[in-house]
Amino acid sequence: MIRAVWPGPLRSGDLALCGDWRRLPLAESSVDLVFADGCLSTLPFPAGYMEVCTELRRVLAANGRCVLRCFVQAETPEPLGLVLGDLASGGVGGFHAFKWRLAMALQPNAERGVVLADVWEALREAEPDLAALSRRIGWPIEVVSTIDAYRGIGARYWFPSANALRDLVTTAGFTILDVVHPAYELGERCPTLILADGDSPVRS
């Protein structure tokens, strides 16, 4: 990502670092603003989530802000049959929102997560011909074919519920200032949490 998007130093002192979210190469209370987009879902719940949140709180300055977009399971998970039924009937919008629904429907619980290869297999079992699916729904085949990145992949995603996520970040010592739900499809499961250090005076 540094190679792809960072333009290089624009001002004296500008620096890009590559590090582990769980052990950031940064001093305590040294960061005014943290942005993270979906990174928690790649970590085991709850231990991995807690490890990162604890580290983010360590580096966050007093009156700093931590802004996390997260992906959460519905409080009452959708059954797999409902998700695939919506696909068969055309009752879905974008492919990526469908893929997220499928992954969450396959997750037995937040502690076990979902194996990416299982998401690929579930779709290919329901729709063996991705080109036909593309034509029927009207999704570009280039978008539908992104599911092939999951083929044979043993990595997991973990999706806690929104309530479980809120409990975890507050246990980690954050104060939740706001939760923003985007207007796009499945936005209710893509909340952005705006957090502050729970031990610091909060100023808006």
Q: pTM score, two decimals?
A: 0.91
Q: What is the pLDDT of residue 198?
A: 86
Please determine, for residue 203, whether its predicted confidence score (pLDDT) is greater than 60.
no
| CA 100 – CA 114 distance, rounded (Å) | 11
- pLDDT greater than 90 at residue 49: yes
What tens digit of pLDDT does each residue of 112-160 get?
999 999 999 999 999 999 999 999 999 999 999 999 999 999 999 999 9
Give the span between the Cα atoms of 168 and 165, in whole angstroms: 5
**Mean pLDDT across the chain:** 95
Cβ within 8 Å of residue 99, ≥6 positions away: 119, 123, 146, 147
Per cent of the chain over pLDDT 70 is 98
> Which among 66, 42, 70 is positioned nearest to 54, based on CA atoms?
66
Q: Output the 3-class SS for 12-28.
A: CCCCCCCCECCECCCCC
**DSSP state letter for 151:** T
Among residues 77, 126, 134, which one has the least CA distance to residue 101?
77
Which of the residue ranges 37-41, 90-94, 101-105 would you say has the lowest mean pLDDT?
90-94
The mean-pLDDT minimum among 17-21, 54-58, 99-103, 159-163 falls in: 17-21
Residue 59, pLDDT score: 96
